[in-house]
Amino acid sequence: MSQPPPKSSFTAGLITALPIALGYFPIAFSFGVAATRAGLSAVEAFGLSLIIYAGAAQFLALALITGGAPVLVSAFTLVAMNVRHVLYGPALIKRAGADARTRHAWAWAFGLTDEVLGAALGALARGKVRFSEPFMFGLTSAAYASWLSGTALGAYAGGGALEGWPVLDAALGFMLPALFLALLLSILSRAQLPVIAVAGVATVAVTLAWSGTAGILAGMIAGAISGVLGLGRGKHAG
């Protein structure tokens, strides 16, 4: 029996984004609660999600804002933390191969978060979908809508919404990295393990010696150099 052709519609993108949307909503809700707890208005909390749209960076921005950090320091820190996103579009287009289209990339590329990229690469690798811009619009818009609606509801609920649920409040902070890790594991191969190991060691070492932001950058650079040197290609790559 022949395999059904891979899908590439807007609806296929929405379906692929469903696990991400379900994971994003409670995290965004906790951000909305945290933002109002820190003294921001509901509109300001929603504005951060609308413009920044990066979970860890938004919580960091909140800490910097409430801590009175200078604007330039805050801006540089957020840019450094999210500079990896510059590589997401080219990586996805390379994986798409002959199906790659970039006419409206200026619109859907804004929604390429860690989890969205992982879901897109995983779906392409498994042959379940074929790259198309309608598919990417469906994937990115569903995740974005979930993040915005979660933030809005959390901000509306107010800063005391999770005071009676301390365990839940603490657990929400681990959901975003856990979601990304689950998506990442679905597309990894054994040949990539050496690169991951090098990046992981560099990230942990620099984080312990300096800071989390520096650790992320060190891991990116170490992983990229390892990949260029062919550390994870294996004997039969090609």
Same structural domain for residues 113 and 14? yes
φ, ψ for residue 67, nearest 5 deg: -85, -5
**Boundary (domain end) residue, out of 187, 214, 229:** 187
In angstroms, the first-to-last Cα distance of the chain is 29
pLDDT score, position 176: 54
State the chain's mean pLDDT as an integer. 79
Total of domains in the chain: 2
Same structural domain for residues 78 and 17? yes
Within-domain flag for 64: yes
Same structural domain for residues 65 and 166? yes
pLDDT score, position 152: 93
Residue 188 tokens read as 């990894």
The continuous run of DSSP H or E covering 92 comes out as: helix 88-96
pLDDT (tens digit, 9 = 90+) per residue, 4-28? 556 678 999 999 999 999 989 988 9
Range in 48-62, 117-131, 174-188, 207-221 the model is least confident about = 174-188
Same structural domain for residues 14 and 108? yes
Same structural domain for residues 180 and 145? yes
**Boundary (domain end) residue, out of 164, 187, 210:** 187
Residue 162 CA to residue 193 CA, distance in Å, equals: 39
179: containing domain: 10-187
Residue 110 CA to residue 62 CA, distance in Å, equals: 21
Same structural domain for residues 137 and 41? yes
Say which residue, 146 or 118, is predicted with more confidence.
146
pLDDT (tens digit, 9 = 90+) per residue, 132-161? 889 999 999 999 999 999 999 988 887 665
Residue 138 CA to residue 114 CA, distance in Å, equals: 16
Find which of 14-18, 70-74, 129-133, 227-231 is predicted with most confidence, using mean pLDDT.
Answer: 14-18
Read off the pTM. Answer: 0.69
Same structural domain for residues 180 and 202? no
Same structural domain for residues 194 and 163? no
Say whether pLDDT at 216 is over 60. yes
Within-domain flag for 5: no
Same structural domain for residues 64 and 93? yes
Within-domain flag for 3: no
Same structural domain for residues 183 and 108? yes
Same structural domain for residues 202 and 231? yes
